Homo-oligomer: A and B are copies of this chain.
C-alpha cells in the first residue's frame, strides 16, 4: 500500500514538467490578451466553433471539445455573446439544448488573433524543440492523456470527430 517516493531522476523530470505546465498557460494567455483581447480558453472556444459544420455546436459538444464544465462554458459563451462574437439559439431538435454559433465578427476576431498566437506557439514550443523531440513529445502526450483523459474527451479532436449521440 505504500507508494515509492520519486528517485532523483524522476523528481528532476517532474519538477521541470511542473514548471512548464505552470508557465505555458500564462505565456499563451498574456500574448492573446495583449494582442487580441481574448483568453486562451476563449480563443479555443472560437477555434472549435470555426471548425464545426455551420460553425455551430451544442453547448455539451463544445464543452467536450474544450474540456470545460457546463457552468464554465455557459459563462464564457454569455460573455462572448455580449461581445457579439458568438450567438446562441435553442436547438430545434431538443428543447433542452442550446446551440452556439460563431458570428462573422467572431470569425474575424479569430482570424485576427491566429497569426500572433501561432507565432507564440512556434517561438515557445515548436521551434524550441528538435524534430525528434517534437515527435517524442507527441508520444509522451498521448501516453499521458490515456491516464489524464481516460474517456478520451479531448482525444476526439484529432481522430475522427464521430459525434454520435
Contact = CB atoms under 8 A, between A and B. Distances in A.
A123 interface: yes
Copies in the complex: 2
Contact of A119 (B3, B123, B133, B155): B3
A144 B124 contact: yes
Interface in A14-54: 14-25, 27, 44
Contact of A140 (B21, B25, B129): B129
B129 A143 contact: yes
A94 interface: no
Interface size class of A (residues with CB under 8 A): 35 or more
Interface stretch (A5-13, A55-63, A79-87, A105-113): A5-13
Contact of A13 (B12, B22, B141, B144): B141
Contact of A16 (B13, B15, B20, B158): B158
A126 interface: yes
Interface pairs A-B: 10 shortest CB-CB: A16-B141, A13-B138, A3-B119, A19-B154, A23-B148, A136-B136, A128-B147, A124-B147, A20-B141, A133-B140
Interface of A: 2-6, 9-10, 12-25, 27, 44, 67, 115, 118-119, 121-126, 128-129, 133-149, 154-155, 157-158
